[in-house]
A = this chain, B = another copy of it.
Amino acid sequence: MTETRPRRGSETRTGILDQAETAVLEKGFAATSIEELITAVGITKGGFFYHFKDKSELAQALLQRYIDRENELFVDLFARADELNEDPLHGFLVALKLLAEMMADLPNAHPGCLVASVCYQDQLFKREVRDLNAVGILGWRRRFRTRFDLIAERYPPRIEVDLDHLADMLAALADGGIILSKVTKDKTLLPAQFMLYRDFVRAVFLGTDPT
């Protein structure tokens, strides 16, 4: 086993990333100093630059990790939901409910979206990082779009909507809802938006006629 590069699992490295993530979500990337990170983690400057040749490399690693984690979370979520219900529509509705519940204890559960944070400081980053961000968003779309295709086969839409747009809507509501929650300090706001979206999806595929 040749193990040349610094092991990605190094405790120090993840420690830096953890610290950086919370700091960036609070103050933004530019205002997050390397100094503050290393004192928090308990290392020296040399140690930092051993793991990241650049502040920009830190940004990239941060965003990559965030996107990967989010991915995992959704794969897991849908797996659980589909276990409970094999119908594609009702499985999705269950997943939305689970999602709303997970987000109930903001900001502990979700202190902010790094994608949004990067978006509002994108000129700080190289194209590489910005592209990574776009990939993250398009991943959401693809994931939900394929699900909607499945659903639409069984439940012909009662409202004529573009399914890509419907997929994007969930991402938009998530990002927007997080912002509203943070600004108003109202934890219930984000889950409420997910449940509203759920109502919409139900109306699209099942209509509003009496059950």
Binding site for B on A (CB under 8 A): 25-31, 112, 115-117, 119-124, 130, 133-134, 136-138, 158-159, 161-162, 165-166, 168-169, 171-177, 179-180, 182-185, 189, 192-193, 195-196, 199-200, 203-204, 207-209
Contact = CB atoms under 8 A, between A and B. Distances in A.
A116 to B, nearest CB: 5
Count identical subunits in the complex. 2
Contact of A121 (B27, B177, B199): B27
A173 B183 CA distance: 15
Contacts of A122: 26, 182-183
Closest 5 CB pairs of A and B: A172-B176, A176-B176, A30-B31, A28-B121, A175-B176
Contact of A176 (B177, B184, B209): B177
Contacts of A174: 176
Given A173-B173, A196-B169, A134 B25 contact: no
Contacts of A161: 196, 199
Tell me what chain A mostly uses at the interface: helix, strand, loop, or mixed.
Answer: helix
A116 B177 CA distance: 11
Given A116-B116, A166-B196, A171-B180, 18 more contacts: A26-B122, A27-B123, A28-B124, A29-B31, A116-B179, A119-B179, A134-B185, A136-B183, A137-B184, A159-B199, A159-B203, A162-B192, A172-B173, A172-B177, A175-B175, A176-B176, A176-B177, A200-B200
